[in-house]
């Protein structure tokens, strides 16, 4: 069955609406999403957003965001059954051995509901603003995986790299799952795809307006699996989609948008499943409670068709 995730609105004015909900409103959105059948809740892992043609943020403007890991801990207590995770966590913001301990602890607090989405980062202004190095992002990411993933899966890591070191490191206590939480890796370029094929339980790609848009990234992913000797059917696939639930008003910038009637959107989401996607993570427009209300019939139709 196709699973449906919700990308929570923790970034100020992401779709041009100028809105950033406070925690209590996010809490209400999360609990309502669980009630209407959402399978997983996700938050972006950023520190600040500045000039971005992709998201339509002009030069000289800063947009705020709530810190992801703090929110995930609060969401673990506020909800009961939905999976939770970053979409996706930037390994450049945290020491990988400490991050493994944070992930194991959150998996414990959430009673085994964490999905650990990972990426190498993509927005240079936040690195400069918060004092993190932006150079050699993929090399740093690969080294982080060599510490983070073994700690979560096996409880031990011993690695001495150029950017990261963890000598005779042990993850104790372990979280509630023997092999740790599932690891999702997002990427676009060949090297990141090979790292996903080598280390991940699932590959993440976003944002796509239709299942047909997945043909090219999935073909490259299959090639990456062949490069590392992995059966591509053993690697899960996750797609992000912006779902517009009202008439077009010109606010959404670069990313493609899935829009139409309830039936149109449900049919498209089921089309993602036919394209080998196990979960679609939806960013709703509007992002508030009214968007969730409009999305509820879509979920019902997907369940009937799934």
* Nearest Cα residue to 126 out of 92, 97, 98: 92
- In whole angstroms, what is the distance from residue 293 CA to residue 284 CA? 11
- Map tokens 């077009």 to a residue: 248
Provide mean pLDDT across the span 253-279: 90
Residue 13 has pLDDT above 70, yes or no: yes
pLDDT band at 86 (very low <50, low <70, confident <90, very high): very high
Provide mean pLDDT across the span 175-196: 97
Q: Given this model, what pLDDT does residue 145 score?
A: 98
Q: What's the token pair of residue 253? A: 């910038």
Evaluate whether 245 touches 286 at the Cβ level (below 8 Å).
yes
SS3 59: coil
- In whole angstroms, what is the distance from residue 266 CA to residue 264 CA? 6
Which residues make Cβ contacts (< 8 Å) with residue 191, sequence separation at least 6?
A: 138
* Nearest Cα residue to 106 out of 116, 93, 91: 116
Residue 31 has pLDDT above 60, yes or no: yes
Q: Which of 56-70, 131-145, 248-262 shows the lowest mean pLDDT across its residues?
A: 248-262
Q: What's the token pair of residue 186? A: 């997002």
Q: Which domains does the chain possess? A: 3-305 (3.20.20.30)
**Using N-to-C axis directions, what is the helix angle for 137-154 and 96-109, rounded to 10°?**
50
Provide mean pLDDT across the span 16-20: 86
- 3-state helix, strand, coil split of the chain in percent (to 5) is 40, 20, 40
- In whole angstroms, what is the distance from residue 79 CA to residue 137 CA? 34
- In whole angstroms, what is the distance from residue 269 CA to residue 275 CA? 10
Q: Given this model, what pLDDT does residue 56 score?
A: 82
**Residue 249 burial (CB count, 10 A):** 11
Provide mean pLDDT across the span 11-25: 91
pLDDT band at 252 (very low <50, low <70, confident <90, very high): low
* Nearest Cα residue to 199 out of 219, 181, 183: 183
- In whole angstroms, what is the distance from residue 245 CA to residue 48 CA? 27
- In whole angstroms, what is the distance from residue 95 CA to residue 105 CA? 15
Q: What's the token pair of residue 100? A: 């493994």
Could you give the dihedral angle defined by the CA atoms of residues 71, 56, 238 and 159, in that order, rounded to the nearest 10 degrees?
A: -60
How does pLDDT run across 113-159, given as a tens digit for each residue? 999 999 999 999 999 999 999 999 999 999 999 999 999 999 999 99
pLDDT mean across residues, the chain: 95
Provide mean pLDDT across the span 196-223: 97
Provide mean pLDDT across the span 261-283: 96
Q: Given this model, what pLDDT does residue 254 score?
A: 46
Query: 183: which strand partners?
Result: 116
Evaluate whether 97 touches 68 at the Cβ level (below 8 Å).
no
With a pLDDT cut of 70, the percent of the chain lying above it is: 97
Residue 245 has pLDDT above 90, yes or no: no
Q: What's the token pair of residue 248? A: 């077009």
Q: Given this model, what pLDDT does residue 155 score?
A: 98
Residue 63 DSSP symbol: B
Q: Given this model, what pLDDT does residue 97 score?
A: 98
Give the H or E element holding residue 279: strand 279-285
């Amino acid at each position: 069955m196709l699973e449906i995730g919700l990308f929570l609105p923790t970034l100020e004015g992401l779709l041009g609406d100028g809105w950033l909900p406070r925690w209590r409103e996010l809490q209400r959105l999360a609990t309502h999403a669980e009630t209407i059948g959402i399978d997983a809740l996700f938050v972006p892992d950023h520190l600040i957003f500045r000039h971005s043609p992709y998201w339509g943020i002009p030069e000289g403007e800063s947009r705020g965001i709530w810190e992801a890991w703090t929110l995930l801990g609060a969401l673990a207590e506020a909800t009961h059954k939905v999976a939770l995770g970053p979409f996706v966590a930037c390994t450049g913001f945290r020491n990988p051995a400490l991050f493994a301990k944070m992930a194991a602890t959150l998996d414990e607090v959430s009673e085994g509901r964490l999905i650990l989405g990972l990426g190498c980062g993509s927005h240079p202004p936040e690195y400069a603003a918060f004092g993190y190095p932006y150079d050699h992002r993929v090399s740093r990411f690969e080294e982080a995986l060599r510490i983070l993933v073994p700690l979560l899966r096996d409880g031990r890591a011993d690695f001495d790299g150029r950017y990261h070191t963890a000598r005779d490191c042990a993850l104790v206590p372990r979280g509630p799952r023997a092999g740790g939480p599932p690891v999702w890796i997002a990427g676009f370029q060949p090297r990141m795809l090979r790292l996903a094929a080598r280390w991940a339980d699932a590959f993440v790609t976003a944002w796509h307006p239709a299942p047909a848009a997945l043909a090219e990234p999935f073909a490259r992913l299959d090639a990456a699996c062949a490069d590392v000797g992995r059966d591509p059917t053993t690697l899960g696939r996750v797609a992000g989609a912006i779902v517009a639930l009202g008439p077009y008003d010109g606010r959404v910038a670069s990313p493609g948008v899935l829009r139409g009637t309830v039936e149109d959107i449900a049919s498209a989401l089921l089309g993602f499943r036919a394209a080998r996607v196990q979960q679609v993570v939806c960013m709703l427009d509007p992002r508030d409670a009214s968007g969730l209300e409009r999305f509820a019939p879509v979920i019902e139709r997907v369940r009937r068709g799934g």
